[in-house]
Chains A and B, each alone.
Chain A
Amino acid sequence: MAEFTIKTARCKGCGICVAFCPKQVLEVDELGKVQVVNREACIVCGQCELRCPDYAIFVDKGGATA
């Protein structure tokens, strides 16, 4: 299961991570911050982290359970 680290203070809600996620795991919430909405679908490809201009989202392979 993917493990996300989100540095909310850094996130500006630009939506780049949402757009490049191949599995629709992420959304920008009404406060303009990224949130994980479908963690089970994450394949830990790292596209979100790679292109985040604000170093706000990090994804790692986590443990087996949620």
Chain B
Amino acid sequence: MERSFEKYFRQNRLPHMWCPGCGNGIVTKAVIMAIEKAGFSQDNTVIVSGIGCSSRASGYMDFDTLHTAHGRAIPFATGVKMANPDLNVIVLTGDGDCTAIGGNHFIHGCRRNVDLTVVLFNNNIYGMTGGQASPMTPTGKKATTAPYGAIDRPFDACKLAEAAGATYVARSTAFHVQHLADMIKGGLDSHGFSFIEAMCQCPTAFGRNNKMADPAKMMMALRDGVMMKAAWDKLPAEKQAERFPIGVLCQKEYIDYAKAYDTVIEKAGGRA
């Protein structure tokens, strides 16, 4: 039976370009499921992406879609939202795109609390360029630019988002598809900067370099590497370090940027 979410895909663009077993397809479906649940109109929703494997997702989605430059999705999305605050704006980005070349844009998007939903496809690697280390490659893991294992410490993008002022922060994985869709839906329902880290597998560039090229086994590793936040909270600190908490990590109320700017327009005597 044809699934109702199929209408949100550009059918003539599928099958997508991602490698066999890539988690990006799963995360993209979770985004679509969340959009369907949130009831967003295809004509009133803009998908903005950066550069990299994850950012190709925008081309498969039947909305107004904007495939920007490397790292720049959040500034473009900020412009879209501020020019027309009635649009729903969703940003799809990767770990390199968002936390390396786009790192400054990311923290400032959080700080302004622009009403965007940012989904970070975290596969711990630069996949498109063939497996270079990203700021979210775990210490010790191998990459083509870290052939002896990475010595850099990885960012915890969720903590970064929370500290920078994002008002909704959540994490899930490509294994927990339904949960991931729920986390994204929570972001779509929130007003302000929503950030969802979607941990996912890259069997081709990350897996192969790290003795785990089987996509299903990588997904099982994702499953075993995380824990629901409520249970994780009860772990002793040394045990917490072994797993990532998943679920809603932060949720607070703060005026979103476009609404805040409405007060500026009012003070200036203009009409919004």
A and B touch in the complex (CB under 8 A): yes
Interface residues of A (CB under 8 A from B): 3, 5, 9-10, 12-16, 18-20, 50-56, 58, 60
Asked if B16 is at the interface of the complex by the 8 Å CB criterion, the answer is yes
* Chain B residues closer than 8 Å to A19, beta-carbon distance: 214, 216-217
CA distance A15 to B219 in the complex (A): 12
Chain A min CB distance to B134 (Å): 20
Contacts A5-B1, A16-B215, A20-B216 given: A50-B20 contact, CB under 8 Å? no
CA distance A3 to B175 in the complex (A): 24
Provide a sorted-by-A list of 25 A–B residue pairs whose CB atoms are within 8 angstroms: A3-B1, A5-B1, A9-B15, A10-B15, A12-B19, A12-B20, A12-B21, A14-B20, A14-B22, A15-B216, A16-B21, A16-B216, A16-B219, A18-B216, A19-B216, A19-B217, A20-B216, A52-B26, A53-B18, A53-B25, A53-B174, A54-B25, A55-B14, A56-B15, A58-B3
* Chain A residues closer than 8 Å to B26, beta-carbon distance: 51-53
CA distance A5 to B24 in the complex (A): 22
Smallest CB-CB A-B distances: 8 pairs = A19-B216, A53-B25, A14-B21, A12-B20, A14-B20, A10-B15, A60-B1, A50-B177
Flag if A51 contacts B175 (CB, 8 Å): yes
* Chain A residues closer than 8 Å to B178, beta-carbon distance: 50
CA distance A13 to B22 in the complex (A): 11
* Chain A residues closer than 8 Å to B18, beta-carbon distance: 53
CA distance A56 to B29 in the complex (A): 12
